[in-house]
């Protein structure tokens, strides 16, 4: 995939996570226990993977930066959620970090 397509995928991934995370009143209440954490991890893995692809990340330092930036996006969203009637969750933030790590690791495996 070209860097341009990776960038488009990154924008789409971030937009999807933002929409799902900041929709007023939307909750994971109807999901079985733990499924929402899986969805958090999957969304942030996709963000980190697409950012790594867009950057053609080649070094561990770049991948760590992508993981940290992606996780900080997640923390920012968790902080804002109470403003739209949602509940912030430390476990969600941890799932975001683990997902971002998995996405960056996926890129590393793909390129090495």
The domain containing residue 103 runs over which residues?
A: 3-19+43-111
Tokens of 35: 């499924």
Q: Is residue 34 part of a domain?
A: no
Q: Helix, strand, coil shares of the chain as percentages rounded to 5?
A: 80, 0, 20
Q: pTM score, two decimals?
A: 0.92
| Digit-coded pLDDT (tens) for 10-56 | 999 999 999 999 987 666 666 776 788 999 999 999 999 999 999 99
Number of Cβ atoms within 10 Å of the Cβ of 42: 15
Q: Which residue is associated with the tokens 């341009």?
A: 4
Residue 24 resides in a domain: no
What is the number of structural domains in the chain?
1
The pLDDT value recorded for residue 87 is: 87
Residues 62-93 as b/e (b if ≥16 CB within 10 A, e otherwise) read bbebbbeebbebbeebbeebeeeebeebeebb
* Predicted local distance difference test score (pLDDT) of residue 27: 63
């Amino acid at each position: 995939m070209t860097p341009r397509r990776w960038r488009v995928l990154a924008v789409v991934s971030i937009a999807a996570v933002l929409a799902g995370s900041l929709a007023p009143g939307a909750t994971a209440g109807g999901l079985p226990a733990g499924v929402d954490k899986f969805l958090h991890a999957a969304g942030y893995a996709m963000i980190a993977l697409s950012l790594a692809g867009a950057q053609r990340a080649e070094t561990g330092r770049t991948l760590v930066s992508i993981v940290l930036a992606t996780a900080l996006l997640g923390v920012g969203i968790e902080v804002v959620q109470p403003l739209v009637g949602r509940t912030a969750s430390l476990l969600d933030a941890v799932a975001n970090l683990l997902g971002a790590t998995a996405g960056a690791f996926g890129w590393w495996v793909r390129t090495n």
